[in-house]
Structure 1
Amino acid sequence: MNIHILGICGTLMGSIAILAKETGAQVSGSDEHIYPPMSDQLQAAGIEIYEGYSDTSVPEGTDLVILGNAGLGRGNPAVEHLLRHNIPFISGAEWLGTYLLRDRWVIAIAGTHGKTTTASMVAWILDYAGMEPGYLIGGVPQNFSVSSRNGSHPFFVIEADEYDTSYFDRRSKFLHYFPQTLVMNNLEFDHADIFDTLEDIKRQFHQLVRTVPEHGLIIHPNDDVNLLDVLDRGCWTETQTFLAKPLDSHHPSVNKAEQLPQSDLSITSTSDDFSRFTVTSNGYELMVHWNLRGRHNLHNALAALSAARHAGVPLATGCAALCEFSGVKRRMEIIYENQDVVVYDDFAHHPTAIESDLDGLRRSLQTDDLLIAVIEPASHTMRSGIHQRELTAATAAADHTLWLEPANIGWDMQTLVSHRSHVHSTPREIINHLDTLFKGSTRRCHIALMSNGSFQNLREDLSAHLS
């Protein structure tokens, strides 16, 4: 089969291209923006890429077009060409569900936060156990060289996104995957460009619950009030729970449910920076010592261990695998370091993720180290201002916070200004301010660059400046 992919350099579509190639299809693709790391992965796989969209984007002899989501709607010349000439096309998520996942044991990782990291953990645990799983992950796992592979039957680990499927299918992508094992990691409001309220997202998550077979398993934290609400609407599948933090009588989930079910997997002790922790199940305790930091990663670890255990991996093997888990690119990834300064690249773009990532980093530093958060509120939800009241508290672990104001911001970022928080309009202003903070300081400085956007090339400019 000859397949052409529109939007091939996006994380999902590029990963689909590699998977389609592994199934034996002839694959090519087009995109407006061709850039690493995805372009490098595609070229290494022998996939030809064409730049731009036009009515000649789809090569002659193409049997099926797989259509991405970003910028690929009515009015796009390539899309209009498909419709005009009745060329068969399908969304990326539907192609996965129809052509790749139908006969697989799908392990789907859903939730507002931690999908990429948790999916990477599950794939690594299964691989460590010798199962050679397939996987599709919306990032680059450090334990693997690529973001997707077909693997061996039956297991396939997929990052299950609640974002809509395509211009012609507004359902969440994860409704196409039909998992045997479903992890719902957490649930908060996000994606304000397609969801008006948290209730809209809950409805999509309940639709996902309805796709898991009776003999499958749904894994969730027992202290997430929004997920408990979703499951209260009807669940036809066995559930298992985990808990990564102690509860007290003031916890909102306790107030809602009066008494939480006992967790099937829990954390009983941790080091201050969460690099060591003890996993407990039915009185059985195992220690994990790994390179990750932050309480949120304990949460992700328990979810991953639970999913892997459902696939047949003993808990001891799962914990041993986590001790060798290297993380994911752009999740507090060190991109520059000298004796005075360390620069981290982080994907956090929601107050909850910003807070947990900064707290985790702070706990790993020396007492007198300086922590500076540099944040670009680039996502649609952040630019809309929905979370603006939460941002100051989210950055409490940082000594200083510098904000890079994006274009088309929907609120006044000057409301964030204080003696330790400043707003800038260009990367050069950020770099100049950092120079001022460095000047005369004897403290080792840690700079966390936090955004899911381009950062107006700040990552590269700052690394070059420091060099």
Structure 2
Amino acid sequence: MISGPISTIDLGTPPSCSAAGPVHFVGICGKGMSSLAVALHRAGVPVTGSDEPLAYGEPVALLQAEGVPHRLEFHPDHVIGASKVVISRQYSRGNPEVEAVLAAQIPYYSLPQFILEHFLHGQKNVVVAGTKGKTTTTTMLAWILEQEGLSPGYFIGGVPKNQMPPGRFPGRGLNVIEGDDYETLFWDHSPKFAYYRPSTVLLTNVYPDHPEYHQGDGSSLNHFRTLMCQLPANGLLLTGDNGPLSRQVAEMAPCMRQRVGFEESADIRIHDWNQEEDGIQFTLGNTKFFLPVTGRHNALNAAMAAVAAEHHGVPLAHSAAHLSAFQGVQGRQDLVGSHRGIDLYRDLAYLPESLLLVQENFRLRFPDRRLVLLYQPFIVNGLPGKDSELSAVMSQFDLVLLADVFKPVLCAPVNPGFSDTVQAMLSARATLTHRVGTVESWPQSVRPHLVPGDVVLAIAHPKVQPLLDHVVEALAH
């Protein structure tokens, strides 16, 4: 337990005290940055922030709903009066606020460094890492612990659909942190989770990803090694995937290791999984779970969260009760809208491995309807071999509407001709495919290819997902 008031700005100043001046966020509209900003704002810390004019989606809506002051422009004057500044990894030298912070020698932090120095030392920290599934799993575990009355600190790189903010600090000695393997700051190339000092790690999976950051599997493994090396000998590593990269990472852990899964070889096995019309059910040990979310992958996420909660004193039966009210995270298989018998959903399953899971889930949910994939390639599609893997998964859809690559000039690892290559591969597989151009043209280019009864799964870069509303509007005509 933590004794006394929790320090925030000056390590001794109560959260409600504004004498230390505000914390300013350069890049406040990022998912992680907005989560931390909301956590500080709710703790009584004065917060300001700036971002680019084209900031988008859930983080902007979250900041507005929470009343966190922010501007959609950068200017050197915005950092005046800040006692500390948190800088997003997205911004570097040349940004006017970054330059002003350096020139004025204002104390500045990366996001993970700020979280570590103000909230994590001396605590029990559960870090959820992996390529996919970490946001949902983090949210599930935080929800269980919160509903159990343990009042954890937590940090989620997304917006929960349940009535809980995406970040809260301080907690009562136990923190749940989503651990990203992206680099930390413009001069700090360590992965973010290198700062989180775990006592427990949940590793969802490890796939090749982030070609703009990792130079092959060896680079990715080196980053995960930094997380494994921090685990104490009396710590715990929970894994949910038995792939070759996940096994290599797990072998680095110097502590007890357990794998949760559906296979007989799993240490903690999931039984009797089933997709129902209104959710999923499975059995863990002798405890039956039902969650009002969809997908086999979410059964695994929930099982990992429940086992981690049990490790911290929460009975499995309690976790099952709490998860029965779990609604998920925004941006995952969300229904954007429906018109003329056509339903449009959105998701972030851009990797072949995750897209296959979502495709299988949609087949179970909509067995008698045509399944259409609306796909916009972006950064990950610069990975060698992904064109072949992705086209194989795409061929499982009844119709593929393939868009142009997102920002091929600004994102060097992306091959601007990737869509052409994938289209040729889909044609070779006899998969019905149409090109639909840039995302801005979708309201006009997508509608002619759809018919009543279609279920459309849209995979697009988060920055352009708000434009899907215009596609739905076009379906009405």
The TM-score, its normalising length taken from structure 1, stands at 0.88
Q: Which residue pairs with 2:380 in the alignment?
A: 381
Q: Secondary structure at the match of 2:354?
A: helix
Change in CA separation of 1:18 and 1:328 when aligned onto 2, cut-off 3 Å: same
Q: Which residue pairs with 1:236 in the alignment?
A: 254
Q: Secondary structure at the match of 2:71?
A: strand
Change in CA separation of 1:288 and 1:453 when aligned onto 2, cut-off 3 Å: same
Aligned length: 441
1:123 aligned to which of 124, 134, 142 = 142
Q: Which residue pairs with 1:64 in the alignment?
A: 84
Q: Which residue pairs with 1:254 in the alignment?
A: none
Q: Which residue pairs with 1:372 in the alignment?
A: 372
Note the residue ranges of structure 1 that are not aligned, 5 or more in a row.
Answer: 248-259
- RMSD, aligned α-carbons: 2.3
Q: Is the 8 A contact 1:276 1:287 kept in 2?
A: no
Q: Which residue pairs with 1:214 in the alignment?
A: 233
The one-letter amino acid paired with 1:266 is R
Q: Which residue pairs with 2:101 in the alignment?
A: 82
Q: Secondary structure at the match of 2:230?
A: coil
- C-alpha distance in structure 1 between counterparts of 2:339 and 2:287, whole Å: 36
1:399 and 2:398 matched = yes
Q: Which residue pairs with 1:423 in the alignment?
A: 435
2:174 aligned to which of 155, 165, 190 = 155
Following superposition, the deviation at residue 239 of structure 1 comes to: 1.8
Q: Which residue pairs with 1:414 in the alignment?
A: 420
Per-residue CA deviations over 1:347-405 (Å, capped at 9, x if unaligned) read 1121111111111111111x321111111112x22256651111112224321111111
Q: Which residue pairs with 1:255 in the alignment?
A: none
Decide which moves more: 346-355 or 215-224.
Answer: 215-224
Per-residue CA deviations over 1:44-73 (Å, capped at 9, x if unaligned) read 4443223322332312x3211111111x11
Q: Secondary structure at the match of 1:211?
A: coil
Q: Is the 8 A contact 2:274 2:280 kept in 1?
A: yes
- C-alpha distance in structure 1 between counterparts of 2:241 and 2:112, whole Å: 29
Decide which moves more: 340-349 or 14-23.
Answer: 14-23
1:447 aligned to which of 456, 460, 469 = 456
Following superposition, the deviation at residue 458 of structure 1 comes to: 3.8
Q: Is the 8 A contact 2:280 2:292 kept in 1?
A: no
Following superposition, the deviation at residue 36 of structure 1 comes to: 5.0
Following superposition, the deviation at residue 184 of structure 1 comes to: 0.8
Following superposition, the deviation at residue 434 of structure 1 comes to: 4.2
Q: Is the 8 A contact 1:4 1:28 kept in 2?
A: yes
Following superposition, the deviation at residue 172 of structure 1 comes to: 0.2
Q: Is the 8 A contact 2:156 2:166 kept in 1?
A: yes
Q: Which residue pairs with 1:315 in the alignment?
A: 316
- C-alpha distance in structure 2 between counterparts of 1:201 and 1:384, whole Å: 13
Per-residue CA deviations over 1:121-172 (Å, capped at 9, x if unaligned) read 1111112222232221111111134221226402221111000000121100
The TM-score, its normalising length taken from structure 2, stands at 0.86
> Residues 253-264 of structure 1: matches in 2 within 5 Å?
262-263=266-267
- C-alpha distance in structure 2 between counterparts of 1:458 and 1:337, whole Å: 15
- C-alpha distance in structure 2 between counterparts of 1:349 and 1:325, whole Å: 24
Following superposition, the deviation at residue 459 of structure 1 comes to: 0.4
- C-alpha distance in structure 1 between counterparts of 2:439 and 2:65, whole Å: 33
- C-alpha distance in structure 2 between counterparts of 1:430 and 1:381, whole Å: 22
Note the residue ranges of structure 2 that are not aligned, 5 or more in a row.
Answer: 1-19, 409-413
1:167 aligned to which of 164, 177, 186 = 186
1:48 and 2:69 matched = yes
Following superposition, the deviation at residue 93 of structure 1 comes to: 0.7
Q: Secondary structure at the match of 1:48?
A: coil
Following superposition, the deviation at residue 331 of structure 1 comes to: 0.4
How much identity, in percent, do the aligned residues show?
A: 27
Change in CA separation of 1:103 and 1:46 when aligned onto 2, cut-off 3 Å: farther
Q: Which residue pairs with 2:270 in the alignment?
A: 267
